[in-house]
Structure 1
């Protein structure tokens, strides 16, 4: 059973780098000490990194939530600890809950969930180097044009803010060993993996085309 949460939105300036600034609504609020501690525990266990910090982001991973709306998404993500009942395939590999840096609603509204200085738990083998963007949708066919445009804009802003970012993948591509991003893969439990379908081939193709055409941006996959 999912725990209901109230939605409190705060305005947060994400940061300023080289004259660029951008802001999104911070929907989680202040990160708890418990979530920081659990994240550090996860990072140490899976990557042998004794930190909860994301110090050298090199890739962006695009997801969708398999939820209907923002409220149901937050009911899953807001607790600090992962539900044993809802995600048993993940729970035995760490207590910290799933966490991404941004949520994109169906109308294209972007919310910040985790701070950019913090690692999230969203992509096995790459959480130590990756920002995560979740699109609120039950499946690929529910993804909207507004979400596509918001993703393109957000990717462009993150790349401008963090020149270290060289890779952009869909979650469904994360274990494709022939792709360039896989050189960043790091995982102390080699059999810890799940099959993913989000956000899908079509969405990623359109996102890459939009980034190239509208922003002149081409990232490695």
Structure 2
């Protein structure tokens, strides 16, 4: 567990090519962190997906920070920019992605919905340390949620259109919520709390 005397966790700045095209926001607008998993096999593929241009402004979908299995933290988008990572929450949220296979490569196959890969201890340590660091310069940061908490939409299963599956299931059942909440002092934002 990181405390006030622990050194800052190193962050590698690997900004996406389109970062400057993203909307800029005031740091005071940020009160939420959304935890994700990449649902891809490695950081290189996550980077490739992040670099894809999907919008007319020349931007794509990406979190702000990516945590690889070895605990290395990579900043793809600075916190003062609005990244596209969680529908309806981007303006107020930081997105943190942990490299994890999730349901890859059959995300929407009805028989492939289990997320079996555990997070590494180094990833969890890095996530906790990063969250504590973010709290030091984001004055209104108090809340944390999983992508699965905020995006509860369902889609047709890829193998059976009569069956529905969750669009987003991350960070999934292996994410250590009790530990993260205890170590960071953040409050989990759940759908029933948003009514």
User: Secondary structure at the residue paired with 1:71?
Assistant: helix
Q: Which runs of 4+ in 1 moved over 4 A?
A: 20-23
1:62 counterpart SS class: strand
State the TM-score, normalizing by the size of structure 2: 0.69
What SS class does the counterpart of residue 172 from structure 1 fall into?
A: helix
Tell me which residue corresponds to 2:15. 28
Native 8 Å contact 2:147 2:171 kept in 1 = yes
1:57 aligns with 2:30: yes
**SS of residue paired to 1:209:** helix
* Mapped pair 1:136 → 2:112: no
Q: 1:160 to 1:211 in 2, by over 3 A?
A: farther
Alignment of 1:70-149 (within 5 A): 70-79=43-52, 81-82=53-54, 96-139=59-102, 140-142=115-117, 143-149=119-125
RMSD, aligned α-carbons? 2.5
Instruction: Provide the C-alpha distance between the structure 2 equivalents of 1:54 and 1:109, rounded to a whole number of angstroms.
Output: 26
**Which sections of structure 2, spanning at least 5 residues, go unmatched?**
1-6, 103-114, 153-165, 190-195
RCO higher in 1 or 2 (8 Å CA, sep ≥ 6)? 2
> Alignment length, in residue pairs?
155
Q: Which structure shows the higher helix fraction?
A: 1
Report the Cα distance in structure 2 between the residues aligned to 1:207 and 1:27, rounded to whole angstroms.
27
Unaligned runs of 5+ in 1: 1-19, 40-51, 83-90, 177-193
> Which residue number in structure 1 is paired with residue 106 of structure 2?
none
Partner of 2:111: none
